[in-house]
């Protein structure tokens, strides 16, 4: 799934462990304790517990996968999973030299990981764990076990590790993006005036599922309303429609927004969507290896400011992959409230950026395009290139 690497011990990891070792060394981290499902999946080379794919609660506690990685020592890596994972791992083992599947709850999981860390001779002075993905009961046990250690959030190191995607990861993102586009095309073509937003979202769910994806969400508007929730509002003759959906393929997210209409767009609608397309294309052109992350914004934002609709236009670019907003993080003023740490860092081939331009027009409605753009060795490639204009809904009722 990821960029594999051979360790001097002969152990092969499914990710570039040398890159992770460098990142840990730069941050002064001795051991990473990973507990989020997406980062565990990444480090294990694709494993995700089937039983807990979309839930965590179990009994009076919760599911907590734990992956332990010591800097420079992949031969000491260990994975500690729930007892229901043993069947899955018997059929498809993971690479970690130590794998235990006898956990029932979060205190169990972290206790087994700590016992193994001691058995393996780990005496970390600085431990990184995922602050946002470690429940209070497990965090207390971990900190009590290493009272003299310093603690840092593992999020930033793990994000940097995942930022450059392998060919296998890019293939899954391409599949996810194409699947979302094809699903949107099918829904638009099959629905005439009279379909509700709830019906359209349910139809999109089925289309994405039939293409082997997991439906994540659909933000939907129709007519002049700016409300993006699935409701009983009807898509009527002459109404515009926006579909903004995330479809998940083996954990990797295809996030696309496209527009449709029942009937024919007038000249103003054509111009409005054309202006959004121009902003998108300018940002695409700036997405290339060696360019600073902020150059994407430098390409898109001036066009927003020149527009007579600037008070209603928003431009956003963000990294994506296993997480819909991940590194590279390009803007300090992102509505997601995270720092733009990569605004002044050169883009690398294999990085993936979602580019989105949104117009919340006060009289015409919600008009938006969102695209997945991959940095290549020579420039960029857009995944899911299609349906960029006004797509026509089915005729009739």
Q: What is the pLDDT of residues 198-207, one digit of tens each?
A: 999 999 999 9
Q: How confident is the model at residue 333 (pLDDT cuts 50, 70, 90)?
A: confident
Between β-strands 150-153 and 126-129, what pairing exists: parallel, antiparallel or unpaired?
parallel
Q: How confident is the model at residue 1 (pLDDT cuts 50, 70, 90)?
A: very low
- Find the range with the poorest average confidence among 3-12, 131-140, 350-359, 363-372: 3-12
Does the pTM of the predicted model rise above 0.85?
yes
Question: For helices 267-286 and 294-306, what crossing angle results, to 10°?
Answer: 160
Beta carbons of 80 and 65 less than 8 angstroms apart: yes
Q: Is 302 helix (H, G, I), strand (E, B) or coil?
A: helix
Beta carbons of 316 and 368 less than 8 angstroms apart: no
100's enclosing H/E stretch is: strand 98-103
Give the per-residue pLDDT at 396.
62
How high is the mean pLDDT of the chain? 95
Tokens of 1: 């799934």
Give the per-residue pLDDT at 34.
98
Going from the N-terminus, what domains does the chain have, and what CATH number goes with each? Answer: 5-162 (3.40.350.10), 167-392 (3.90.230.10)
């Amino acid at each position: 799934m990821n960029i594999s690497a051979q360790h001097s011990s002969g152990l092969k990891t499914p990710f570039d462990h040398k890159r992770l070792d460098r990142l840990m060394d730069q941050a002064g981290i001795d051991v990473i304790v990973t507990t989020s499902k997406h980062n565990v999946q990444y480090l294990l080379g694709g494993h995700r517990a089937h039983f807990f794919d979309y839930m965590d609660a179990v009994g009076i506690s919760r599911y907590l996968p734990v992956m332990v990685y010591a800097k420079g020592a992949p031969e000491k890596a260990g994975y500690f999973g729930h007892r229901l994972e043993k069947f899955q791992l018997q059929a498809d083992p993971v690479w970690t030299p130590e794998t235990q599947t006898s956990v029932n709850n979060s205190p169990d999981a972290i206790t087994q990981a700590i016992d193994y860390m001691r058995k393996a001779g780990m005496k970390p002075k600085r431990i990184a764990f995922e602050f946002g993905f470690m429940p209070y009961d497990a965090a207390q046990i971990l900190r009590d076990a290493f009272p003299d250690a310093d603690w840092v959030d593992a999020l930033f190191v793990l994000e940097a590790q995942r930022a450059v995607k392998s060919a296998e990861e890019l293939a899954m993102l391409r599949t996810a993006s194409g699947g979302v586009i094809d699903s949107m095309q099918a829904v638009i073509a099959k629905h005439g005036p009279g379909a509700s937003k709830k019906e359209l979202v349910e139809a999109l769910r089925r289309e994405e599922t039939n293409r082997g994806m997991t439906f994540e969400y659909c933000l939907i508007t129709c007519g002049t309303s700016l409300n993006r929730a699935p409701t009983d509002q009807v898509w009527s003759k002459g109404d515009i429609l926006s579909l903004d959906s995330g479809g998940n393929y083996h954990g990797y997210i295809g996030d696309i927004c496209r527009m449709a209409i029942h009937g024919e767009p007038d000249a103003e609608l054509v111009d409005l969507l054309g202006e959004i397309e121009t902003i998108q294309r300018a940002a695409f052109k700036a997405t290339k290896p060696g360019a600073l992350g902020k150059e994407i914004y430098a390409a898109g934002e001036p066009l927003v400011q020149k527009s007579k609709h600037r008070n209603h236009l928003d431009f956003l670019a963000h990294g994506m992959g296993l997480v819909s907003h991940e590194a590279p993080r390009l803007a300090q003023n992102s509505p997601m409230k995270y720092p733009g740490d990569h605004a002044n860092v050169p883009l690398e081939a294999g990085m993936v950026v979602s580019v989105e331009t949104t117009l919340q027009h006060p009289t015409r409605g919600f008009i938006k395009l969102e695209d997945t753009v991959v940095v290549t060795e020579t420039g960029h490639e857009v995944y899911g290139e299609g349906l960029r204009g006004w797509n026509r809904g089915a005729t009739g009722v």
